[in-house]
A and B are shown apart, each in its own frame.
Chain A
């Protein structure tokens, strides 16, 4: 299946992503097999508040990329219900015109409890698409407004989508999103007030920008009419060049690699300690805690002690 996927077979790619998304025992093997083939694709993140037009914009971006003969993979993340764990994944609706194009692969993911705007395995999904030959991989985050910051770790280029008439634009920037954007997209420019937002953003950039390096461009688009899409495309390409050739870009890549390792370590620790805790979490322990015969710190230490064996034996997922 891995070979089939690497040669571009859609069903196989889809299956691999499911395996990794469900964190099945095979997922580590899959990711290892993918790894040597990654690093080619341009990973673009599209983030912004709910309804700002991210999906519509992605759909238009796909169109532009396809006209240039590039293949495109998309991962679109929508929030999962905190109650049922289920989700209605609706970003795809706006991209359906590309269903049927063999050069486009679109995959919807539920955030499955993650809060940073992506799901735990969105990055792995993107890596699989990269390894399986997509020239560009676009990730659409959950439209959560303020905390969609995970994207900055995994994308080469992060586009922050803003729209006129939201009133809270300035709020968003204060919340620190400013730093994560590589470029700003003022979408719905067919509506009144887009110029004003653009001017405000430009002012903010001036105020915040320190010294040298990449100056975040501000682009106006309309996903409804298609206006500004070509320019946006050029700007994104320009940013990739910058990333691939500058000190800043190299630094970013190093950081990402660091984060990847940390993330794998963190996940493994979590997995093993959680299962060690699950094993110990019997009535008796709880009772002891209730009766103050022991304390949570001591129990935690015991859990970690018993987990140590699993770490050493290299038990994976």
Chain B
């Protein structure tokens, strides 16, 4: 990237510097013997043009909005428009969550992001015995389309984009969303939003799986197919590294395992007869941001470049609209501490800034009470304002990819891409992501990293302010916490009973029969049958119950 003679000069200069530093180190040693990124990539004392000598500007960086998208996926990036500020929220009943969404929209949120409770995510109705104690606790409880109607009451679905964190039962919740839109008089082709729909990372890191891999992959490709024809503006999958990182992985592993999941989905869809030039446009990603500022910025840039290269070289994708890696980001939950929770505001700011400098398309900032409970309205507001401050006051959005060309950032971008590619090759050798999961390889890598992280804190090798250094005696419960009422479960069960008494149960039975039939026929698309079922208020648990009978259930693979 630089002129040979200039490089030679720099190299000489650097040699002089190294010699002089070596000399003074005896008297004044550095804080530690060696330095690494948060994820353990060795860091040099100083980066110079020599370190990025190999970078070919056009091939490796390019321009914003063009291959390989290292500098961003849009031509004008945030000068055009800011990222979508999207706060993940949902708790208790549909009424409660509806209230929170309206507050968020009033405060300037640009898109909704629905958190469902665990029974909903795992395909149990609120009155199922496995749901006891969990209804409405960590997200909103949705049993039937009736709940979904309440959830979006007064929110015109053609005006917002809605992201739903739903995976194993994605088809059911998407169908309910479509159903609600129909009731609002909005046709499905007008809808925009995202379903997470990423089952592989559920097996790896997140745990809300229901069915075994094969039928799960079928449900996913059914959705790809259905949406490409009927809901063209919908992002049909959000391939997620966030949870992999939160389960303990390093930044490199986050990129590697997420993209390896992506490869598996692309392969499955191609096998199902779909064209990656078409469905490639509807793939989206979801990443994390921890505290190591330069590592995180580099990570996003590396991920974009690597994904574009994979699509182009491996899958022969040519449509430039299908190549860019678009992603949502959430700041890193497990970096936030229960101790001195206000400090978390500072951590979130650093992380959010890294996301923006890394070129995210949408962002959730965690609240300061992250490690204590679901966030209160006040703490969510601060988290959202943090984004607004970055957008409007920091100035970093006024020129595109301002970190590019930094010797350290470009070096790390290269390094992360290389190391991630090594993991991907290893997974390829094992026979792909499914095989690697079955072997427990991915899970083991993540757990080892999680344990190392824990030990590094306990041995004071890694400082966490307020936890293992600069601790203070705190009065417990200084922060007001959100508490979900225990009555949500019983209320929800009562509502269910009323629903089952009042709906057209013959229609429900027929709908479930059709779903069963479609499930048996591997060449059928399940979406239409599921859509019919939700329209007559068949519950989520009933639909998933039939699918459980037909498909069986996944058993987790634990390698400790």
Contacts and interface: CB of A to CB of B under 8 A. Distances in A.
Q: Do chains A and B touch in the complex (CB under 8 A)?
A: yes
Nearest to B556: A93
Nearest to A225: B552
A94 B555 contact: yes
B558 interface: yes
Contacts of A93: 556, 558
Contacts of B556: 93
B211 to A, nearest CB: 13
A175 B197 CA distance: 46
B551 to A, nearest CB: 12
Contact of B440 (A51, A88, A224): A51
Contact of A51 (B212, B439, B555, B560): B439
Nearest to B555: A94
A61 B536 CA distance: 42
Interface string A252-272: 000000000000000000000
Interface residues of B, number: 8
Contacts of B212: 224
Interface in A50-71: 51
A300 interface: no
Interface in B505-557: 555-556
Contacts of B555: 94
B439 A88 contact: no
Nearest to A59: B555
Nearest to A78: B560
A51 B430 CA distance: 14
B558 A90 contact: yes
Interface in B312-333: none
Contacts of B439: 51
Interface in A66-97: 88, 90, 93-94
Nearest to B560: A88
A51 B444 CA distance: 13
Contacts of B559: 90
A51 B439 CA distance: 7
B437 to A, nearest CB: 12
Nearest to B431: A165
A90 B558 CA distance: 8
A22 B204 CA distance: 37
Nearest to A165: B431
Contacts of A51: 439-440
Contacts of B558: 90, 93
B560 A90 contact: yes
A161 to B, nearest CB: 16
A224 to B, nearest CB: 8
Interface in B435-451: 439-440
A225 B558 CA distance: 19
A184 B376 CA distance: 59
A215 to B, nearest CB: 33
Contacts of A90: 558-560
Most buried by A among B212, B439, B556, B560: B560
Contacts of A88: 560
Nearest to B438: A51
A299 to B, nearest CB: 42
A313 B558 CA distance: 50
A20 B369 CA distance: 49
A90 B443 CA distance: 15
Contacts of B440: 51
Interface in B185-228: 212
Nearest to B212: A224
Interface in B261-305: none
A88 B560 CA distance: 7
Nearest to A93: B558
Interface in A91-113: 93-94
Contacts of A94: 555
Interface in A208-233: 224
Nearest to A188: B438
A51 B560 CA distance: 12
A93 to B, nearest CB: 6
A269 B533 CA distance: 73
B410 to A, nearest CB: 41
Contacts of A224: 212
A22 B559 CA distance: 27
A90 B440 CA distance: 13
A282 B440 CA distance: 48
A88 B451 CA distance: 14
Nearest to A51: B439
Nearest to A87: B560
Interface string B483-515: 000000000000000000000000000000000
10 contacts: A51-B439, A51-B440, A88-B560, A90-B558, A90-B559, A90-B560, A93-B556, A93-B558, A94-B555, A224-B212
Given A51-B439, A90-B559, A90-B560, 7 more contacts: A51-B440, A88-B560, A90-B558, A93-B556, A93-B558, A94-B555, A224-B212
Interface of B: 212, 439-440, 555-556, 558-560
Interface of A: 51, 88, 90, 93-94, 224
Query: Lowest 8 A-B CB distances belong to which pairs?
Result: A88-B560, A93-B558, A90-B558, A90-B560, A51-B439, A94-B555, A51-B440, A93-B556
